[in-house]
Structure 1
């Protein structure tokens, strides 16, 4: 059993007081979940000036909410997770084995790149470390693995109930994935046991990680490991001063003299007896554990609230940029759609191959009245020409190609114009560079989509012609129906509106319907091509109210945390 003095030191290290109430946990968890949703909605997809560090902070906060805050708020009374971190060569794994009383993790310079992190817990606490609990994004395994996405669970009765010890990768590892994982594990710690050595304690990279933990108000205990006995008088006060200047109390610092590593990759029991007593006392003292959790939890929420402000500001710039993008794109494509409709009315579409095949069918291009056009086509159909079906099919293909070419030509002009105008705006270049495709050209496959859409509309219009004129108007079969529909469409795009009298009924009304249908079909395909500029909105759900939602969620979380902490005093 831990001594009274050791128990008092545990309280000094963690600032423990009376066990806090958990009454406000559901309310606080709901507020943090709302903050998480607001962060998710405030995506920062565009590489605008100055956004990179804000995006990095946002991603860290979102990860800590997922990996620590929400799981911890779901079980405040669960075991405290002690994450053992520090620089390469500090002896973290050997220290973990020494505290556990047996070999549970493998020391060595190669270990961080060959094994997953190891979480050692008392067998009775196993339920607290399932995949729905802390670090839910990591798979649970029961043996060493090379998978960085896994967490090895080791049950050991030598670890006191109420705590778990996690051996993390090195913060200064040469492996990028190890450094990222170490940062993730640090964010999930209830208490950071920062292990350094006499040779490494002033190194900048691990010290930055310690500073990050302190900035988050994570409960911290520091171990100076592998201190030569002759250097203790020099190193001890120096490290203590450095830590005190950073906000770590002297009572939260332990020193372990350098010693021989025995069987089981651990130090002699007497070398770590004071640390072992601290761990036992911490596990036995529910108030101390809860105080550490309360400190770390509150610090994590407050950090999320602080980060929300710059993220909301950056998201507002993203919304402004997307709005600028859509305004330019809408203006350009609206003008192009108007130009496209005009081109369908100026009779220049019927030329080239389409003109040749049309003349082959009607014999006279100067048919002004749609009734004359239909009469000419009916005459051709009545002639029982065996090659008429092929000629009609070729005419339809020529019409589809002419309409497709007209559309693609306008789409090319629109995309080039929109790209040019966007690059002249404040954020346009970032928007264009973000897109997964070249927005200065029409979308891939536009021509084939246009052809398919036009053909589908012509078939529907043929059914409409049969409905208005009667199934027998052109003779039996689909061929006659398609022929009349083709003739009416070509008449519609080769004559301006109102030509040849009023288009109010019969064939004239069908010509007006065809003219309107062609225009709507082509402009709809053009609008789909414009919708590529909506990618940032659709991909990240970057709603205009996202910045305001994030600010409101941060205020709500801050108020709820304040009420929660007042109730615990």
Structure 2
């Protein structure tokens, strides 16, 4: 048995809500688009798909100071405050006839909002605390049953939450009442709203407020041209001439035509249902297209993840090679270690060259007299310091070699809304850079690998293998300390120590960055399920 439209839309909202976009560059924009799409499905489409005969949700929308609240008060009696302080409408006001009370129960309509009922003597619900956006609810006998009339925050409010709230109400509405003035009807933001209404095929009425006396025809003609250019076609224009307010409200005659139009929509069940159906299927087509786009972005993250894994593997291999080259090029033992070794070697040479024990004793007395203890330890400590300095230099070179490579990796998102140059602040690259810095910092504070080895062995092997030519070293010293077998063993041990350290650093840096690559193996299956449901909805409910 086929699912109802309400059930299918709730299922689509659930599936979209489970999409976890993990590549930050596009994930930020896609996540925002996902959240808005889920809200549209739950707040409007699913609810309207279940209750097509519910009262129309009509919103008064427009820029700051165009008179939305004044018009609402004039239509239904004084509901909200009007003021020169902007923005005036901080918490939206929903007005309905008392007979429509049950439609607001159990979130059947406008389920994404908390509704706070105000008594007749209460002016506002400002300061109410709720995790969801709040609607102030009031009743008015002046409004016919069959319509909810909402005064929205300014779409150009300097308060970001107000702008978002106005957008959320537009997404949940069946009817847009666009309010502007004779001086401001050509503003780009208002024209963009009219174009959005045309794309969505939602019913629209426009109020041209504060029209100067004698300019009514010119203002309506000019505004009508803008409406036609926006793609709305035949849209009713309700002009209100400039004049004195009476008790903060317009004269009844000024809003009479607008009120009759709204009463006609509310009172005619067939016309009301047709208007709701028009908004439902116009919005549904837009939401399904957006959902298809989100599914495609989500599926594409699997390819991005694979490219990232491949790129990191290549980077790790090249970095290991670069690290080994860096070690070979680093002047590990110069200056103090060499001079201390030469001093030690010369002493050994003198002692080995002595003709008898008497001469060797004299050499020892002289060293004792001058406090010269024959020890390899000073040379070993100097060698350690040189090794530490070499490691610091090597570790400092890692960012210089890896960072440019990261920037060169081709991990551009193939789909999704772009974030311009700002993506670098949230990108996978930035996370890799931070992981790289963390790995380097950790290694710099860890024990050096050579501290666990025999200091004399490392010192001598380094010196013999890399820096001291045999022809410049007393043969008796080499014979005294290094047999041929020992020499090869020391050289092998040294190579293993250094190569192992370089390989370990490269692997640890690679692993730290690899952990940040999102796991996306389930993405294609999730996207496929969404695309299948979208296709079913389009086949079953396309208009």
TM-score bucket of the superposed structures, by smaller chain: 0.5 to 0.7
Q: Does 79-88 or 307-316 show the bigger shift?
A: 307-316
**Residues 166-315 of structure 1: matches in 2 within 5 Å?**
166-173=150-157, 178-228=162-212, 230-240=214-224, 242-244=226-228, 246-248=230-232, 250=234, 252-263=236-247, 265-284=248-267, 288-307=271-290
Does structure 2 conserve the Cα–Cα contact (< 8 Å) formed by 1:453 and 1:521?
Answer: no
**Structure-2 change in CA distance of 1:350 and 1:287 (3 Å):** farther
Are positions 1:449 and 2:442 aligned together?
A: yes
Distance 1:309 1:494 in 2: 68
**Structure-2 change in CA distance of 1:420 and 1:261 (3 Å):** same
Distance 2:171 2:385 in 1: 60
Does structure 2 conserve the Cα–Cα contact (< 8 Å) formed by 1:35 and 1:550?
Answer: no
CA RMSD of aligned residues (A): 5.8
Long gaps (5+) in structure 2: 119-123, 341-347, 349-380, 413-419, 463-484
Distance 1:146 1:114 in 2: 14
Distance 2:21 2:223 in 1: 43
**Secondary structure in structure 2 of the residue aligned to 1:112:** coil
Q: State the Cα deviation string for residues 19-66 of structure 1 (Å, max 9, x = none).
A: xx992311232124334545x53756169xxxxxxx86x566434323
Deviation, 1:114, is: 7.3
Are positions 1:529 and 2:509 aligned together?
A: yes
Are positions 1:28 and 2:9 aligned together?
A: yes
**Secondary structure in structure 2 of the residue aligned to 1:143:** coil
**Structure-2 change in CA distance of 1:426 and 1:450 (3 Å):** closer
**Residues 13-412 of structure 1: matches in 2 within 5 Å?**
23-38=4-19, 40-41=20-21, 45=25, 58=30, 61-76=33-48, 77=51, 79-102=55-78, 104-112=79-87, 115-121=90-96, 124=101, 125-127=103-105, 133-134=111-112, 143-144=125-126, 151-158=134-141, 159-160=143-144, 162-173=146-157, 178-228=162-212, 230-240=214-224, 242-244=226-228, 246-248=230-232, 250=234, 252-263=236-247, 265-284=248-267, 288-307=271-290, 326-337=309-320, 409-412=393-396
Long gaps (5+) in structure 1: 1-20, 48-54, 357-363, 365-396, 459-484, 504-510
Deviation, 1:131, is: 12
Aligned residues, how many? 467
Deviation, 1:105, is: 1.9
Distance 2:96 2:310 in 1: 58
Deviation, 1:165, is: 2.5
Deviation, 1:152, is: 4.4
Does structure 2 conserve the Cα–Cα contact (< 8 Å) formed by 1:118 and 1:153?
Answer: yes
Q: State the Cα deviation string for residues 154-183 of structure 1 (Å, max 9, x = none).
A: 322445555332222333446666545433
Does structure 1 conserve the Cα–Cα contact (< 8 Å) formed by 2:194 and 2:232?
Answer: no
TM-score, normalised via structure 2 length = 0.63
Q: Which residue in the other structure is 1:559 paired with? A: 535
Q: Which residue in the other structure is 2:366 paired with? A: none
Distance 1:533 1:350 in 2: 33
**Secondary structure in structure 2 of the residue aligned to 1:41:** coil
TM-score, normalised via structure 1 length = 0.61
Higher CA-based Rg: 2
